[in-house]
Amino acid sequence: MNLLLDTHTALWLINEHEKLSFEVKNMLLNDKNTLYISIVSAWEIAIKTSRGKLTEFSGGVKSFLTKINEMPISIVPIMPHYLETVETLPFIHGDPFDRLIVATAKTEGMIILTADENIYKYDVCFMW
């Protein structure tokens, strides 16, 4: 399966947080799954770090990207056609980062690994 990690999922993976369920940990460790993260997650980390809103992760975006690059996770760039999908999404979620993650997953046929219940309201594949 092609799994797109939501930002909090990646942070919880890096921090080995207890909020990652046994099932999610198994999906993340399963070699049959291919893991992806949108570059928008790094952008979100940079903004939240600069505003002092990211207390559970130290080191900022540079540290985040270093840790992601040490894992078998591919970074997905923002493609113009993802923005076209964002434009057609119902306005369920006001967070622009999450809307772009949803659009990326929809466009690329990925499954989002997320605990965000607002994402569950979209016509997109997700698991938790």
The amino acid at 82: Y
What is the pLDDT, as a whole number, of residue 16?
87
What is the pLDDT, as a whole number, of residue 29?
92
- Residues whose CB falls within 8 Å of the CB of residue 118, separated by 6 or more in sequence, listed in order: 92, 93, 95, 98
Query: What are the 10-residue block averages of pLDDT along the chain, 128 residues in total?
Result: 97 91 91 98 96 87 96 98 97 93 98 96 95
What is the pLDDT, as a whole number, of residue 57?
83
Domains and CATH numbers, the chain: 2-127 (3.40.50.1010)
What is the pLDDT, as a whole number, of residue 127?
94
Largest CA distance in the chain: 38
pTM for this entry? 0.95
Element housing 108 (H / E): helix 96-108
What is the pLDDT, as a whole number, of residue 58?
84
* Local structure of residue 71 (DSSP, 8 states): T
